[in-house]
Amino acid sequence: LSHDFHGGISASDPMPCSPPQTLSTRRQLYERDFPLYQRPVEIGCFSLDLERRFFNDARQLRYYVEPEHHPNFNLRDGYRDRYVKRDDGVKERIDHILRWILANRSKLRPSETAAASSPPRVLGVEFVTWRGHLTKLLTTPYETREGWLLAVTRLHGTLYMSEVETEAARQERQTRTARHQEMMYWGYKFEQYTCAATAGGRPDQGGVVNTNEAFCTVVRTQLASHRLLFSGEVDCRDPHPSAPPAPFCYLELKTSAEICTPKQRSNFHRYKLLKWWAQSFLPGVPRIIAGFRDDDGVVVAVETYETSKISQLIKNEYNCWKPTVCMNFCSEFLSFVKTVVREDNPRVVYLFSWEPHREVSYSIHRDTDYCFLPDWYVKEITS
């Protein structure tokens, strides 16, 4: 590392050295043994209904229905007349996770001994965030196009992390072509073709696709020395009664352009499988079902990828991504955050920012629009 950074400083040190100002994202720095990553444990789940209302239960969980050998899925069907799109201008930040925490506080209280030995942490975890934010961290050493902004606030010893949309991402979102907007629908339509509302039920191919609806798992795990609580949206589960318990019964659904050339195959391995692997590895989702579609949105093949075998699959690619680099970088980033974010104050945000070919840096913001812990949460968790 360019700076002497070992993550040994804690917020409670009486005379801490000044923390490092930046963190390198160079791959070579993270090529070492795979860090500890504890088997993720599902500690709860929640659902968002068709009006995006929160429920502390699994009512939105869907069940996988295996497609026929030659399915006839037209992903364009219903785009004009049976599509209710979530308003992506509404920033929910980590509010749903906070709602889940308040509804499940009793499960989260640290043991008396743990509370006595270290600064009192209300939750018994050090980080609270979305799985999607961690996915971005995992893929950072290999990302060459899109930067990110992560807001972090320390409250009662727990570090809350919530993404902030970059200016480039906002531009991209507001200037999408009609074609791109339609293609964003295709993934949700594939879910509708392959999921049922009940175990043993049939998909409702003629129904409305409403992207407000979601089922999210909440998992607890540990990366190196970091105790994490995160939530991720889950597409469906294995309907079989003998399927393993959550999160190992969950399935991730994806669509991707059909692969016709060696170049396309290589790009798929190098870029797309990295993102797919990182996203599903984090919560312990064991299988990814991919629908390959042509340019007209017709699914031409359906393949299953086992998350644990993806890194083997890509080993023949020249200079390809490595899971250990992803996990070690994420772990070092979390150590960096722990040393930097010292003030325990819901009105202070440490904004970590990264652009491709740069180092991670941060700035500090007091009483600004970056604040993301709502008053209802701070009040309730403090009482």
Contacts to ligand 0WD by CB under 6 A:
86, 88, 91-92, 130-132, 135, 163, 165, 187, 211, 214, 232-233, 254, 279
CB-nearer residue toward ligand 0WD: 11 or 65: 65
Which listed option, ligand 0WD, Ca ion, none, makes contact with residue 62 (CB within 5 to 8 Å by class)? Answer: none
Query: Looking at beta carbons only, is 23 or 149 nearer to ligand 0WD?
Result: 149
Residue 251, φ and ψ in degrees, nearest 5: -130, 140
Query: Is 291:259 a contact under the CB 8 Å cutoff?
Result: no
The residue number whose beta carbon is nearest to ligand 0WD equals 132
What letter does residue 51 receive in the DSSP assignment? T
The residues pairing with 163 across neighbouring beta strands, listed in sequence order, are 150
Q: Which amino acid is at 316?
A: N
Q: Which is nearer to ligand 0WD, 17 or 184 (CB)?
A: 184
Q: Are strands 148-155 and 41-48 parallel, antiparallel or unpaired?
A: unpaired
The dihedral built from the CA positions of residue 294, 296, 302 and 306, taken in this order, carries a sign that is positive
Closest approach of Cβ 104 to ligand 0WD, in Å? 18
Q: At closest approach, how far in Å is the CB of 370 from ligand 0WD?
A: 14
Residue 284 interacts, among Ca ion, ligand 0WD, none and using kind-specific CB cut-offs from 5 to 8 Å, with: none
> Binding to Ca ion by residue 195, rule CB under 5 A?
no
253 in contact with Ca ion (CB under 5 A): yes
The strand order across the sheet containing 54-55 reads 54-55, 41-48, 214-223, 226-233, 127-130, 158-164, 148-155, 348-354, 361-366
Phi-psi region of 234 (alpha: psi -120 to 50; beta: other; left: phi over 0): beta
In the complex, what is the shortest distance from the CB of residue 276 to ligand 0WD, in angstroms, rounded to a whole number?
Answer: 8
Total residues belonging to the chain: 383
Q: Tell me whether residue 86 or residue 156 sits nearer to ligand 0WD (CB atom).
A: 86
- Could you say which of Ca ion, ligand 0WD, none residue 163 binds, taking C-beta under 5 to 8 angstroms by partner kind? ligand 0WD
State how far the Cα of 352 lies from the Cα of 331, in Å rounded to an integer: 15
**Minimum separation from the CB atom of position 214 to ligand 0WD (A):** 4
Kindly list the residues in this chain that would bind Ca ion in the complex (CB under 5 A): 235, 253
